[in-house]
Structure 1
Amino acid sequence: MSSAYLPRLVDDLLAEYLASFPAVMLVGPRACGKTTTAARHAATVLRLDTRQGTDALRADPDAALRHRAEPVLLDEWQEFPEVIGAVKRAVDAERRPGRFLITGSARSNTDELLWPGTGRIVMLPMYPLTVAEATGVSPRPFIERVAAGEPLVGAVPSPDVADYVGLAVRGGFPEPALELDATGAQRWLSSYADQLALRDARSHSLRLDASRLRRYLDALAINSAGTPQDKTLYEAAGIDRRTAHEYERLLADMVVTDHLSAWSTNRLKRLSRTPKRYLVDSGLMAAILGADVGDVLSDDNLLGALIDTFVTAQLRTEAPMSATRYRLSHLRDQNGRREIDVIAELPRGRLIGIEIKAAAGVRHSDARHLMWLRDSIGASFVAGVVLHTGHDTIELDDRIVAAPISALWN
């Protein structure tokens, strides 16, 4: 293995999938490192975003996949979608594990009933770097540690709020996160947003209006980590509801946006069903808004939204890798008086609640919504954590602690 390669959280799980399934699709946003990681697990690489990679497939894709050293990596499959049919036929003919590894910057057609990969290709998400990955550490997933009752200790030396904002503004795309200075990183991320609208998205929709899509992306960035109504977004972008829904699907398909579904239960009444919307990367959010560290620190609303987007990105990336299967959601009642930023739902209905505070000082009252949830659901409440930008871990109440955000990767 090359010493230059930075191990990713997905590596071990990808190896397990290839040992068990004939075809695995690694899906994530463009430039998050999919090709670099996938190539390390492949014996043959076919890059479908190049003419050389597709020439052999155009005439006879089935024949082009035969007799190649496996696993065969089919990189950027959405540039030549016909290859999925060839993979289907190859897997149907011989269903041994580790035959194909497919990467793409789109989930296109993966939800359609007639998509040929159903039952044959297993999906595995990959996201931009977490801080743990970028710094070369590999703690157990945070939710696993909370569920096990492990101590939550922050990093040493302890970051302060400006340090956290600096990490969030740089984001997790490997090039700006690891190789560029602050100015270069912001320029890279701004260019990335422009290219999403001007080039990448056009391969998904011929009817696309790039300037309107960019305005809609701006509206999503402003509202990242929020629960805006659809009307708020499409009016801000100057488009109609139908166009907004099309753009929403498109950006989710390209793994640029994500959401946390609203958690609900029959035991609690009047809970909102509105999802919490996010850009998948806090650095991309900051670049779209043209905000640097100083801008963020001078705007409390932006600070809170950026830190929430940053922390949720760390948790989102860990979730598929965890041995403890859990789902992430959020909780908010219909009048907005009670809300919990992240809910991790463990097997058998057990819950962990996480509040994210862009403040160094934590008070007992900051846990009031977690205490309300604990008292409402009883033994199903495993633990609550208030993640903050200070230095200390503090027990706030029964099964509820405050811990530094850096406990995520320490």
Structure 2
Amino acid sequence: MIPRRLETSIRAALQRSPSVALIGPRQVGKTTIALNIAEGAPSVYLDLESRLDLEKVRDIHLFHSQNSDKLIVMDEVQRLPELFQELRGIIDQERRKGHKTGQFLFLGSASLDLLQQSGESLAGRITYIELYPVDALEYGGDKYDRLNELWLRGGFPESLLADTESNSLQWRRDFIKTYLERDIPQFGPRIPAETLERFWTMLAHNQGAVLNASHLGRNLEISGVTIGRYLDLMVDLLLIRRLKPWTFNIGKRLVRSPKIYVRDSGIVHALLNIGSYNQLLGHPVVGGSWEGFVIENILSVAPAGMQAFYYGTPGGAEIDLILEFSADEKWAIEIKRSSSPSLSKGFHIACQDVNPQKRYVVYAGTDRFTLTDNVTAISLAELMRELLQV
């Protein structure tokens, strides 16, 4: 088992908040963390995909009265949205008794769905935490081989820890199939699994590309509006990242459509039938895959309140990632797969437009050194450690 850094944050959140929602895609490790936490205190665990456990909480007031001295962990809580309205009264009642923290731990596989259901009912009574797949710091990303293995297999623990490359790839194929045939239909309109798989695969082929809904729609023979609906659903399920453009008014024409990334690199490779590191290096997606991998790892350690963007102009000025901590603090990050990075003129022009306080190029090496124009070349792991100190 790989120790997860976020477990400490969840324990701390339960010490200050009556309820905590741990959100992340299926199989990312939420249940493992919850059970670890539950071992250290009186608790009861419920999987709401189990018919028996679902029936136990149909009358949540009765169930809570019988377990009021325990941490109640509810997995796949989005399956019972009406629960949240009832929980509000229970939490307020416990507050009046002096029991103010650590009452409920919710686990959910859908972001917007869970946020809307709980946010309306539990405002001021809940803390939200997102669990990313295993990241470079958790998997020893300073070691070149370990970093490449994480990039190839992705961060879902069962894929990452599989005993062979073929078993890892098969796990990811099964993961994709399960989402297409069972999980996605639970959350959205009935979408043919074959159509959705083609859509997902097209996004993988175009990893890191600026969204062109009309082009995608023509290829799938559906409307751009329908593409937008599919994309919204997969963003809500934490499978796709929509990276917004930085569009502060600087008197220039800017690219205003988002960039789209399949969030886990291992899922990208499974969708494209890439089963080995050598196959990955020879595939046209290698640059986009590395870029998406680095972005997800960086955002996994980003401080609360930070916003992420990319910057682009029709003339070619571009920054792969802008981290905006405040109106006065921005970092510009360029991402290169090369072990001897060089920067394009477009990056320097973009930095003149954006005026970031720090400029980095994340590359495949381990040394830290300064390039021209106050740009620091840095490894992914070192930049992640720096962000954890912000």
Q: TM-score, normalised by structure 1?
A: 0.84
Q: In the TM superposition, what are the counterparts of 1:2-401 in structure 2 within 5 Å?
A: 5-42=1-38, 43-58=43-58, 60-68=59-67, 69-95=69-95, 96-107=100-111, 108=113, 110-111=115-116, 115-135=120-140, 155=142, 159=144, 165-292=148-275, 293-299=277-283, 301-319=284-302, 322=303, 325-333=305-313, 335=314, 337-363=316-342, 366=343, 368-378=345-355, 381-401=356-376
- Superposed displacement of residue 14, structure 1: 1.3
Q: Is the 8 A contact 1:342 1:354 kept in 2?
A: yes
Code of the aligned partner of 1:298: G
**Distance in 2 of aligned mates of 1:403 and 1:369:** 20
Code of the aligned partner of 2:101: P
SS in 1 for 2:339: coil
Q: Is the 8 A contact 1:219 1:236 kept in 2?
A: no
Greater relative CO (CA pairs within 8 A, separation 6+): 1
Aligned length: 374
Code of the aligned partner of 2:86: A
**Distance in 2 of aligned mates of 1:211 and 1:305:** 24
- Superposed displacement of residue 113, structure 1: 10
**Distance in 2 of aligned mates of 1:383 and 1:188:** 40
**Distance in 1 of aligned mates of 2:376 and 2:246:** 22
Q: Is the 8 A contact 1:344 1:351 kept in 2?
A: yes
Code of the aligned partner of 1:11: E
Q: Is the 8 A contact 1:251 1:257 kept in 2?
A: yes
Code of the aligned partner of 1:79: R
**Distance in 2 of aligned mates of 1:113 and 1:49:** 18
- Superposed displacement of residue 27, structure 1: 0.6
**Distance in 1 of aligned mates of 2:379 and 2:274:** 24
The superposition leaves residues 107-160 of structure 1 with CA deviations (integer Å, 9 ceiling, x where unpaired) of 21524798433443322111111021123x8xxxxxxxxxxxxxxxxx3x6x28
The superposition leaves residues 365-405 of structure 1 with CA deviations (integer Å, 9 ceiling, x where unpaired) of x1534433443455xx2211111224543311243112234
- Superposed displacement of residue 55, structure 1: 2.0
Q: Kindly tell me: are residues 278 and 392 of structure 1, through their superposed partners in 2, closer, same or farther at Cα, counting changes over 3 Å?
A: same
Partner of 2:388: none
- The gaps in structure 1 that reach 5 residues or longer are 138-154
**Distance in 2 of aligned mates of 1:72 and 1:38:** 10
The superposition leaves residues 310-334 of structure 1 with CA deviations (integer Å, 9 ceiling, x where unpaired) of 1111012112xx37x422111111x
Root-mean-square deviation (Å)? 2.4
The superposition leaves residues 319-362 of structure 1 with CA deviations (integer Å, 9 ceiling, x where unpaired) of 2xx37x422111111x1501111111122431111111122222
- Superposed displacement of residue 210, structure 1: 1.5
**Distance in 2 of aligned mates of 1:269 and 1:106:** 37
**Distance in 1 of aligned mates of 2:174 and 2:29:** 17
Q: Kindly tell me: are residues 166 and 12 of structure 1, through their superposed partners in 2, closer, same or farther at Cα, counting changes over 3 Å?
A: closer
Code of the aligned partner of 2:257: T
Code of the aligned partner of 2:230: Y
**Distance in 2 of aligned mates of 1:384 and 1:131:** 21
> After TM superposition, which residue ranges in structure 1, 4 or more long, deviate above 4 angstroms?
none
Code of the aligned partner of 2:106: I
The superposition leaves residues 77-116 of structure 1 with CA deviations (integer Å, 9 ceiling, x where unpaired) of 1223232233222123233121111001112152479843
**Distance in 1 of aligned mates of 2:119 and 2:365:** 51
Code of the aligned partner of 1:372: I
SS in 2 for 1:221: helix
- The gaps in structure 2 that reach 5 residues or longer are 386-390
Code of the aligned partner of 2:5: L
- Superposed displacement of residue 223, structure 1: 1.9
Q: TM-score, normalised by structure 2?
A: 0.88
Partner of 1:147: none
